[in-house]
Chains A and B, each alone.
Chain A
């Protein structure tokens, strides 16, 4: 059984004449430890898909199941718990809490889960050290570079040992070098630590770090590609493909 799967997932914003169909009967599944990139032109529904997968929003039609349980039937409190324990989020703007230090930010999900503060810090520190932030534990977000902030965000996403990490344009706000580092880190998260990672991006070079690419257009899946790791220039291939789809 796959870790997460959708059935005819549909999201319509607004109603009547102004209704926008952001997702249109999407069916997809992601297995544990898999690294999937979602690509597509702006406004095609990538973020909406991620939000629904993460239980941040509710679908209009169809369903999302994690570990075989449908999210639609869960109450707000259960969804909250599910997010805390099973899902990690990474966003374009890092969304760290500005008044907390790196280690406190990274520890948030377990702190919220009621883990003892000392242990929560211990766990957060481990992740931050793995990501090369061992000397930055007590810095506030405004004292960190964009790349460093995003690493804190990834540490935060992993600290509760979730099965699934959702990343919405994690490199959208970073320069080329930092982008590559973050993408590599997400690949490491998937391969070394065995988490499923679903990453939205419109950068072919970043998408090329994934195992599989899902192409979205106007709320529909229009193509899926498995990437060969051995040879060829995946980034160029993806760039060509996205250009074709965009037209």
Chain B
């Protein structure tokens, strides 16, 4: 093996714990980036398979870009396109089933969590697809409440030709009679419930509308002709329609993308910290191995050889850490896919396949993981190459070198800190976010300058504590003399704590704002919750009459409903929520970032919308702008009157319009979410009984009280936050161990001095307290830095969130207290080993140590 690699491997193996901990930081970063980025493509693949499964044998499917239903006026146009052989319209709707809908047994896992309701014109449908009925008969145009299903579905429902089964619809539960049975289903995706178009329109409330036009084209000789026909079709339907496989899950893509972005940010932070920790470790490594390096130089190693040696160490760590990160990342990704698979198929009706690893992701993860470590080793390697042969023979030179370098560094550091502070006040997220990271770098560089004032402050404190020992001043003196080493230790501690404080800042801001929002938007007495929240288009809601029935119940004061339609504005997919401007503010509410409650009146006046900040950011819109919404009837102009968000749609690009507009422009009157308030002094028991009696026909809604829902959401969120804290604490660990490292080195460097102290009569206890005092001082400095940096970084996170969801920054008192506790605890813990080592030192040996 090559000499540099041999040396690197041996040195690393000689310090197993340290190597392990520093490598851990890299492992973590790669793990997060790799693992999380496995999950998204896997979900996308699943979505595509679902869409393809639905498309079946059809050559092309035409859907509206918004995903909404439309009137089939286009049909003759498409039919006239050269090459088109057969056309069939259909209304496809995913019907999410409430838990235990068919088996009524909470203990048994549900076999069916969603169905695809497919309404077709029986004859036309046969012209694009074959329906080889094996029992009973195929659908007839005059059929009502009849269906054709596959053998598999019939088996899981235990029905046969002539039997009936129920399905939730906007009109309550509908019974369908099985007219015929198709062969067992082989394609992935949901089981289909085939009914006549009229039946499907009735069941979904989409009067006289369809959402898919399936097209079969002439059997073509080649790809080129196929593409030509597709182009012809595209030209004939215009821009508002999409030709191809079904557009499914645009809504879900948005929230997946967001989650991915957050995890990537976390991964980058982890890698950044990993790089910093490795940088720090290498700096101490170079100081520690000055003699070895000097000796190698004396023996004829060139500067390049030394650089190569240190870089080889970084490379080894990078490669091993990255490999482990990839492995664990894959396990994490695959594990989540496996674990979440059943849950996802339940809630968002998605069957996940095997985890997908793209070559691009693999190479990027490797590039980042290895790159960061090598980069982190670069500066220390350079300074190692400057070690002269004489350094092997004289111990004092490197310290001088260390100090001189610290001088220029702190000037640059001061400039960085000043600039990033300016960035903070600029309020511009594009500046603040990179500023947060740079601020940490600057703080680490400026550290040597700040060591003296900070040690002076804390030194007095420590001197007071150890007044009788007379060692406090000694410890303080040691620190001010070696400001560069102290700075290295302190910045390691700082990094660990920065994360805790920053996370604290983000979490406290999130909790305050989210809980407030939750109380506001979900504070009603009753909530009618569909199976899937936030993925509105796969829920079957209720027709408007249901809400009216609820309004009529004695003791009900107000009922507010949400309706859903997909659309596109400024090229950005947007979930439109239809609200009743009069009742919505009474029962629910929005959290306004721009504009005020008066916006509801603008909605009532018509063609106005309130958008959430996720949308405003994504679409680059401003209050007062006129936005063109793509509707099934063509584009319609809406005025953006306010920016506000509710709890359920926080993460998704969403806009609120009046239900009147939604009915006129999108033809939707289906309520997918209902909130209800009782009048003060109403007979609650009686009202509850009547409400539940009415709701029996609509099992798709889960009825719970706002308070209960709030509690369950809160505990879910608390658990999520705790997990996040835990993840971040894992990041803090290696950097706190890095502090132990530098502390130990500090003791080794002063071996002779400690021997001298012992020789002139210092007791073991005094030596121990001295080292301990020094460690506590260091920890205090690191903690002070950590809190400073953490507050900044936390603020950075909060402002980075602004584009998605503006938070009020809340001071993280718990985070700060936790950081102080952890910092000092680790300081004391980290001192135990070196302190014992120093106290045990043999006086004569120590004095001989050069």
Contacts and interface: CB of A to CB of B under 8 A. Distances in A.
Contacts of B850: 93
B390 A89 contact: no
Contacts of B7: 97, 99-100
A184 to B, nearest CB: 24
Interface of B is mostly: helix
Contact of A95 (B10, B291, B301): B291
Range of interface residues on A (Cβ < 8 Å)? 20 to 34
B303 interface: yes
A240 to B, nearest CB: 28
B388 interface: yes
Contacts of B3: 108, 111-112
A99 B390 contact: no
Interface stretch (B292-300, B477-485, B783-791): B292-300
Contacts of A168: 393
B6 interface: yes
A100 B393 CA distance: 19
Interface in B1-52: 1, 3, 6-7, 10-11, 13-14
Interface in A73-114: 76-77, 80-81, 83-85, 89, 91, 93, 95-100, 104, 108-109, 111-113
Interface string B295-312: 111111111010000000
Contact of B300 (A47, A51, A81, A91): A81
Contacts of B11: 99
Nearest to B1: A117
B392 interface: yes
A98 B299 contact: no
B165 to A, nearest CB: 74
Interface string A50-73: 010010110000000000000000
B274 interface: no
Contact of A91 (B14, B297, B393): B393
A95 B300 contact: no
B815 interface: no
Interface in B409-435: none
Contacts of A47: 393
B389 interface: yes
A51 B390 CA distance: 8
Given A51-B393, A95-B295, A97-B292, A104 B303 contact: no
B389 A99 contact: no
Contact of B299 (A51, A84, A104): A84
A103 to B, nearest CB: 12
A108 B296 contact: yes
A156 interface: yes
B300 A156 contact: no
A197 B296 CA distance: 21
B302 A77 contact: yes
Contact of A57 (B6, B292, B305, B390): B390
A89 B302 contact: no
B390 A84 contact: no
Interface in B823-850: 850
B663 to A, nearest CB: 78
Nearest to B304: A77
Contacts of B10: 99-100
Contact of B298 (A89, A100, A113, A160): A89
A32 to B, nearest CB: 20
Contacts of B295: 95-97
Chain A CB within 10 A, most for which of B1, B292, B850: B292
B302 A80 contact: yes
Contacts of A112: 3, 296, 299-302, 305
Interface string B328-365: 00000000000000000000000000000000000000
A56 to B, nearest CB: 4
A56 B299 contact: no
Contacts of B299: 83-84, 89, 108-109, 112, 156
A232 to B, nearest CB: 34
A111 B299 CA distance: 10
A77 B392 CA distance: 18
A80 B297 contact: yes
Contacts of A97: 7, 292, 295-296
A104 B295 CA distance: 14
A112 B11 CA distance: 18
A54 B302 CA distance: 15
Contacts of A160: 300
A168 B3 CA distance: 27
Most buried by B among A57, A80, A89, A168: A80
B120 to A, nearest CB: 76
Contacts of A85: 300
B390 A109 contact: no
A66 to B, nearest CB: 14
Contacts of A99: 7, 10-11, 13-14
A84 B300 contact: yes
A117 B301 CA distance: 16
B388 A56 contact: yes
A98 B13 CA distance: 12
A196 B291 CA distance: 26
Contact of A56 (B302, B303, B390): B390
A100 B14 CA distance: 11
Nearest to A101: B10
Contacts of A98: 14, 292
Contacts of B390: 51, 56-57
B839 to A, nearest CB: 23
B292 A83 contact: no
A111 B302 CA distance: 12
A47 B389 CA distance: 13
B377 to A, nearest CB: 18
Contacts of A100: 6-7, 10
B667 to A, nearest CB: 77
Nearest to B8: A99
Contacts of B301: 80, 112
Given A54-B298, A56-B298, A89-B298, A95 B392 contact: yes
Given A97-B292, A111-B3, A83 B14 contact: no
Interface string A203-242: 0000000000000000000000000000000000000000
B291 to A, nearest CB: 6
A98 B7 CA distance: 10
Interface hub of B301, B388, B393 (most chain A Cβ within 10 A): B393
A201 B6 CA distance: 35
Interface string B302-325: 110100000000000000000000
Contacts of A77: 302-303
Nearest to B850: A93
B114 to A, nearest CB: 61
Contacts of A84: 299-300
B6 A56 contact: no
Contacts of A91: 392-393
Contacts of B392: 91, 95
Interface centre among A99, A108, A109 (most CB of B within 10 A): A99
Contacts of A111: 3
Contacts of A81: 300
B296 A83 contact: no
Nearest to A93: B850
A54 B753 CA distance: 31
Contacts of A104: 6
A89 B299 CA distance: 7
22 contacts: A47-B393, A56-B393, A57-B389, A57-B390, A77-B302, A80-B297, A80-B303, A83-B299, A83-B300, A89-B299, A91-B393, A95-B295, A95-B298, A95-B393, A99-B10, A100-B6, A108-B3, A108-B299, A111-B3, A112-B296, A112-B302, A112-B305
Given A57-B388, A95-B291, A99-B14, 4 more contacts: A56-B388, A81-B300, A83-B298, A95-B295
Interface of B: 1, 3, 6-7, 10-11, 13-14, 291-292, 295-303, 305, 388-390, 392-393, 850
Nearest 3 pairs of A and B residues by beta carbon: A84-B300, A99-B10, A56-B389
